[in-house]
Structure 1
Amino acid sequence: MKIERIEAIPYAIPYTHPLRFASGEVHAAEHVLVRIHTDEGAVGIADAPPRPYTYGETQESIIAVVRDLFAPQLVGLDPLDREKAQRIMGRTVHNATAKGAIDIALWDLVGKALAVPVHRLLGGYAEGMRVAHMLGFRPAPELLEEALRFREQYGVTTFKLKTGRRPLALDVEAARVLREGLGDEAEIYLDANRGWSANEALEVLRRTEGLGLCALEEPCDAAEAMGRRRLVQHSPIPIVGDESVPTPGDVSRELLSGGCTAVCIKTARSGFTQAAEILGLCTGLGVDVTMGNQIDTQIGSLATVTFGAAHEASQRRAGELSNFLDMADDLLAEPLEIRDGALRAREAPGVGAEIDEAKLGRYRQDS
């Protein structure tokens, strides 16, 4: 089996309401569908979410690097030769989600060729994961209403609160309202998306002491190295690296320098291959991981649960797997379902992301 051609298809699906956080806001999923076609008719599928304010990628840049740089070098390669593909893509710096999508699509092809679900190829630890739901910038009563609805309708009991606002009291109040409204059984953690300084993050931790928060993700920029180290030393809860740790090298730097004490893995930016390398680093050092969310579509969420469910260490915590529910529609032919607070990986060969061609025709932007 050889790679015959690679597609990079831009599409846009609106969100039901704007999703706001410290590093930006989104009104539609303006993503790129990556499809790798082989000479035997098999097709590997993945989703690339542009995040210009995080990784510097746009729809246009993803399409250009896939079409003009990666595809000419990957055509003719056996999809099993994933390390060769990694070396080819590694010659080009950055472009994390474009590389991640290519890698996931290659794993999808391998699973299909072997007639095995990819989550079993990767490790097969569990059938699925508990779900954490991400709450964006909104007034505290609205955040609680959304969290209660997700608990009642989907059984979700873990919530990630987007923070990083000024004044700090807005986020402190939101955390307090969620804890009082959800009770002690709910898991709540914060994600500031680099919105604060290290000293501001320390102040938020002081003001939220006693609320039982389980983690604080990316409180300030990694460039604030001394402040981050001081924050980690004084924090009673794990400080999670996210935007600061997209590659295994970044993970090593932040953990060894004391910049974080836990790591968020996002398959959208690492694919499955680098995600496994990151997970190995973390388990070897005794560091917890979370499975994060790029405001993913169902295709992206399926990739996340495929990797997360495959390993004991990544399955331990609830994964951020529900924000596709904020979208008005999706491209999957068979929609994902969250039941009893959990999402299952697919048992079909590959990752299990089959596309509804009629919906793709409706939302694609290049035709």
Structure 2
Amino acid sequence: MKITSIEAIPFAIPYRKPLKFASGEVHAAEHVLVRVHTDDGITGIAEAPPRPFTYGETQTGIVAVIEQIFAPQIAGLSLLDREVIGARLARTVGNPAAKAAVDMAVWDALGRTLDVQVTELLGGFTDRMRVSHMLGFDTPEAMVAEAERMRETHGISTFKVKVGRRPVSLDTAIVRALRERFGDEVELYVDGNRGWTAAESARAMREMADLGLTFAEELCPADDVLGRRWLVSQLDVPFIADESAVTPADVTREILGGSATAISIKTARTGFTQSQRTHHLAEGLGLEVVMGNQIDGQLGSACTVAFGAAYQLTSRRAGELSNFLDMSDDLLTEPLEIRGGELAIRPGAGLGAEIDPDKLAHYRQDR
């Protein structure tokens, strides 16, 4: 079970339409496929989605740090040496998506070696999760139409609405239009990606007070410490820390400081090992948790549902598992399928996902 090599393969798949939100927009899935090879002939896989406007990583940077720094440090270790692997990755500052993909590919390789699903290795609570779909910036008519399509085609009934534009009323009108169209048939929450000030956020939440929102997420900048605490103290819905609470230490700071009351776990930035630590901390603190999405492809979404389904706490809420539907294609041999508003973990050992070699050859960017 020794690791012999690690590959980092850049690929790009266009989106059917750009996904727009307060901190940026995405036109193509310019991601990195990570492969961990072992001396037993096993290959574990994962996907690293760079988000330069959030974490500072680029596709080129992810490939470079894996090939030049992480691979030499990890080669020769056992798949069971996860603490050693984590410690060596931690020597390098930043690079969360690159570290997460290496970590998840190691877990996938371990599951394949032991002929056990990753979900079972992690906790094995259930085999599926309800799905939340993320609605990016658009007109009220277009966003309502997208929600209708997702509901009719995939049975999705939870929607995360991107907000954070100015004037505030532009976005509150969209949330109101969604509630008026669907009534109590759907669950709605909002994500500002730090786009509003604390005062604008408070005004927006007052305008939406009658709309029955489940959560509010990252409405204002995390470094506005006093403004954020002031905002959270006024809200009657849980306030999710996302980009501001990546590590367990971040979670402790945000929660005990009164800057948040719930958290988002994204395996694309904390892998399985660090996500597990964050989960256990959240469980101990009695926090609400949602499984977030870093605009993942199908492989990334398979990782998210594998982790989210492993625990009672993370499977309680709908997970953000559907953004791969906005991609024009993907790399998996068997596409993920959302049925009845749920996404099931893949059958088979590890993550149960396989890469189509022809699609990889078509979309990879290094040849």
User: What TM-score, normalized to structure 1?
Assistant: 0.99
Aligned residue identity for 2:307: F
Q: How far apart, CA to CA, are the structure 2 residues paired with 1:347 and 1:366?
A: 31
Q: Give the equivalent residue in structure 1 for 2:356.
A: 356
SS at match of 2:193: coil
Aligned residue identity for 2:213: L
Alpha-carbon offset, residue 185 of structure 1:
2.3
Structure 1 unmatched runs, 5+? none
Q: How far apart, CA to CA, are the structure 2 residues paired with 1:273 and 1:238?
A: 26
Q: Give the equivalent residue in structure 2 for 1:116.
A: 116
**Residues 191-244 of structure 1: per-residue CA shift (max 9 Å, x gap):** 000001111110001011110011110011110011111111100111100000
Percent of paired sites with the same residue = 58
Q: How far apart, CA to CA, are the structure 1 residues paired with 2:220 and 2:183?
A: 28
Q: How far apart, CA to CA, are the structure 1 residues paired with 2:142 and 2:123?
A: 39
Q: Give the equivalent residue in structure 2 for 1:59.
A: 59
Alpha-carbon offset, residue 347 of structure 1:
2.4
The answer to whether structure 1 residue 2 and structure 2 residue 2 are counterparts is: yes
Aligned residue identity for 2:56: G
The answer to whether structure 1 residue 164 and structure 2 residue 164 are counterparts is: yes
Q: How far apart, CA to CA, are the structure 1 residues paired with 2:208 and 2:335?
A: 38
Alpha-carbon offset, residue 39 of structure 1:
1.2
Q: How far apart, CA to CA, are the structure 1 residues paired with 2:137 and 2:72?
A: 42
Alpha-carbon offset, residue 292 of structure 1:
0.3
SS at match of 1:184: helix
The answer to whether structure 1 residue 197 and structure 2 residue 208 are counterparts is: no
Q: How far apart, CA to CA, are the structure 2 residues paired with 1:119 and 1:262?
A: 23
Aligned residue identity for 1:157: S
Aligned residue identity for 1:25: E
SS at match of 1:18: strand
Matches within 5 A, 1:88-127: 88-127=88-127
Q: Give the equivalent residue in structure 2 for 1:29.
A: 29
Q: Give the equivalent residue in structure 1 for 2:264.
A: 264
**Residues 291-336 of structure 1: per-residue CA shift (max 9 Å, x gap):** 0011110000000000000000000000000110000000001110
Q: How far apart, CA to CA, are the structure 1 residues paired with 2:209 and 2:248?
A: 32
Alpha-carbon offset, residue 346 of structure 1:
1.5
Alpha-carbon offset, residue 75 of structure 1:
0.5
Q: How far apart, CA to CA, are the structure 2 residues paired with 1:349 and 1:80?
A: 16
Q: How far apart, CA to CA, are the structure 2 residues paired with 1:353 and 1:104?
A: 12
Matches within 5 A, 1:35-50: 35-50=35-50
Root-mean-square deviation (Å):
0.6
Q: How far apart, CA to CA, are the structure 2 residues paired with 1:39 and 1:274?
A: 26
How many pairs are equivalent?
Answer: 367
**Residues 10-48 of structure 1: per-residue CA shift (max 9 Å, x gap):** 000000001100000010000000001111110010000
Matches within 5 A, 1:137-156: 137-156=137-156
SS at match of 1:182: helix
Aligned residue identity for 2:85: A
Aligned residue identity for 1:163: V
Q: Give the equivalent residue in structure 2 for 1:179.
A: 179
SS at match of 1:183: helix
Q: How far apart, CA to CA, are the structure 2 residues paired with 1:254 and 1:363?
A: 40
Alpha-carbon offset, residue 80 of structure 1:
1.1
Alpha-carbon offset, residue 352 of structure 1:
1.4
SS at match of 2:250: helix
Q: How far apart, CA to CA, are the structure 2 residues paired with 1:213 and 1:185?
A: 13
Q: How far apart, CA to CA, are the structure 2 residues paired with 1:185 and 1:361?
A: 43
Aligned residue identity for 1:239: F
Q: How far apart, CA to CA, are the structure 2 residues paired with 1:176 and 1:235?
A: 18
Aligned residue identity for 1:146: E
Poorly superposed stretches of 4+, deviation over 2 Å = none
Matches within 5 A, 1:220-299: 220-299=220-299
SS at match of 2:44: strand
Q: How far apart, CA to CA, are the structure 2 residues paired with 1:34 and 1:366?
A: 14
Q: How far apart, CA to CA, are the structure 2 residues paired with 1:82 and 1:285?
A: 25
User: What TM-score, normalized to structure 2?
Assistant: 0.99
Q: Give the equivalent residue in structure 2 for 1:129.
A: 129
Q: How far apart, CA to CA, are the structure 2 residues paired with 1:255 and 1:92?
A: 27
**Residues 64-112 of structure 1: per-residue CA shift (max 9 Å, x gap):** 1101110001000111111100000011111000000011001001101
SS at match of 2:348: coil
Aligned residue identity for 1:165: R
Q: How far apart, CA to CA, are the structure 1 residues paired with 2:18 and 2:7?
A: 29
Q: Give the equivalent residue in structure 1 for 2:218.
A: 218
Aligned residue identity for 1:100: A
Q: How far apart, CA to CA, are the structure 2 residues paired with 1:149 and 1:64?
A: 40
SS at match of 1:44: strand
Aligned residue identity for 2:357: E
Q: Give the equivalent residue in structure 2 for 1:316.
A: 316
Q: How far apart, CA to CA, are the structure 2 residues paired with 1:44 and 1:82?
A: 14
Q: How far apart, CA to CA, are the structure 1 residues paired with 2:10 and 2:186?
A: 38
Q: How far apart, CA to CA, are the structure 1 residues paired with 2:221 and 2:352?
A: 36
Alpha-carbon offset, residue 143 of structure 1:
0.4
